Amino acid sequence: MGNEKQGNSFISIIAADLSRIIEKDASFGDFLKTYFFPKGTTFPYIFWLRAVSCLKQKKLRILAVLPYAIMRHYEYKYDIHVNSNIHIGKGLHIVHGGAVYLNCSSIGENFTVYQCVTLGSKKYGKEWKDEIPSVGDNVSIYKGATVCGKIHIGNETIIGANAYVDSDTEEKSVIIGPAGRKR
């Protein structure tokens, strides 16, 4: 049980996210380089999102105020919004900022998302909280895709550019085109 808890520590989650971005095992030098000189990556936003989520999970909301303000700064800088209350597995990779909106019940490990992607509800008002998607492990969602409704995106699914998905997908699916055709 000790290893399981250690495997989900803040540092191990950040290391997994960074390793996905730089495509090798991350070191502290890689962290500094990627954080201060991101070169097209959204790693500073991911770092502060993880910090806020970790503090909220540990019921230390008062300590999350400053990290939340910093996260909001990067949210506007990169034009990304990810709900900090959802569980997101290790290996989050937001390839490009720019109109990325992720509001789902959960996101699995090794999730990759590109610009102009929306995951959310079809409903408005108080009902939207019950009508959001969940995403499995090793899922990639490409530019311009929309995933909405109370659906599950299966493990190892690829959602192509400009696809619209409003129904469950099986594992290892490839969804393409505006009509969300399975391939």
Identity of residue 62: I
Q: What is the mean pLDDT of the chain?
A: 89
Task: For residue 181, give the H/E element and its range.
Answer: strand 181-182
Task: Write the class of the CATH domain 2-182.
Answer: mainly beta
Q: Is the pLDDT of residue 160 over 80?
A: yes
Q: Give dist(CA 10, CA 26) in Å, integer.
A: 14
Task: Using the structure block, give the residue that is written with the tokens 């550019």.
Answer: 161
Question: What pLDDT digit, counting tens, does each position of 90-121 carry?
Answer: 999 999 889 999 999 999 999 999 999 999 98
> What is the reported pLDDT for 46?
95
Answer with the residue of higher pLDDT: 181 or 168.
168
Confidence of residue 6 (pLDDT cuts 50, 70, 90): very low
> What is the reported pLDDT for 5?
44
Q: Are 118 and 137 in contact (CB under 8 A)?
A: no
Q: Are 147 and 118 in contact (CB under 8 A)?
A: yes
Question: What pLDDT digit, counting tens, does each position of 42-82 carry?
Answer: 999 999 999 999 999 898 888 989 999 999 999 999 999 99
The model carries a pTM of 0.88
Strand 158-159 versus strand 174-176 pairing type:
parallel
Q: What is the DSSP letter of 39?
A: T
Cα four-point dihedral sign 57, 90, 149, 81:
positive
